[in-house]
Amino acid sequence: MLSKKTQYAFHALIYLAENVDKGPILISEIAAEKSISIKFLENILLELKNAGILGSKKGKGGGYYLMRTPKEIPLARIIRLLDGPIALLPCVSLNYYERCENCKDEAICGLHEVMSKVRDATLKLLENKSLKDILTRD
C-alpha cells in the first residue's frame, strides 16, 4: 500500500494542477482543501520541491506551483520519491536493489522471476501514466 505521505502528495499535486491559473498556492490552502495536516504537508511539498517537481515563492503572494506540466510528471516518480521501491522484493527493484540473503542464485530463483514480471507490469502503468492522467475528468 502507498503511504499517507504519497497519497497526500498525489492529492496536493492534483490540486496544484487544477489551479495552475491561480499562480502560487498556499500550503494552508491545499491542507484545508484536502484535509491534510498542514505541517505534515509542508514536509511533503518541500521534498517535492527539492526533487525539482515543485517550485515555490516565499513571502506575500508566495506559495507552491508545478515546475513541469502534469503530463511530464510520471506517477512512478512520486511514489519512488516518497515511498521508495515499487517492486515487491528488494532483489527485484530497479532503483533500490538489494541482494537477497536466502537465495543462492537469482538466475534460477522462481520467486525472482515472477516478482520481476509483477514489477514490469506495474511499472508499465506507473511510468507511463502521469499526473495528467489522474486529474478529475469533467
Partner DNA sequence: ATTTTAGTCTATCTTTTTTATAGGTTTTAT
Partner DNA sequence: ATAAAACCTATAAAAAAGATAGACTAAAAT
Binding site for DNA (CB under 7 A): 3-5, 24-28, 37, 39-40, 42-43, 45-46, 49-50, 56-64, 83-84
Q: Which is nearer to its own copies, 62 or 88 (CB)?
A: 88
**Is residue 18 near its own copies by the rule CB under 8 A?**
no
Of the candidates 84, 85, 82, the one whose C-alpha atom is nearest the C-alpha of residue 5 is 82
- Quick check: helix, strand or coil at residue 43? helix
Distance, CA of 47 to CA of 49 (rounded, Å): 5
Task: Give the side-chain half-sphere CA count within 13 A for 119.
Answer: 19
Give me the least distance between CB of 60 and its own copies, in Å please: 28
Rounded to whole angstroms, the Cα distance separating 46 from 35 reads 18
Q: Which is nearer to DNA, 61 or 110 (CB)?
A: 61
Q: Who's near 131: CB < 8 A, 6+ residues apart?
A: 13, 14, 17, 70, 71, 73, 75, 78
- Residues between 68 and 87 with contacts to its own copies, criterion CB under 8 A: 75, 84-85, 87
Q: Which residues here bind its own copies, judged by CB under 8 A?
A: 1-2, 7, 10-11, 14, 34-36, 75, 84-85, 87-90, 101-102, 108-111, 113-114, 117-118, 121-122, 124-126, 129, 133-138
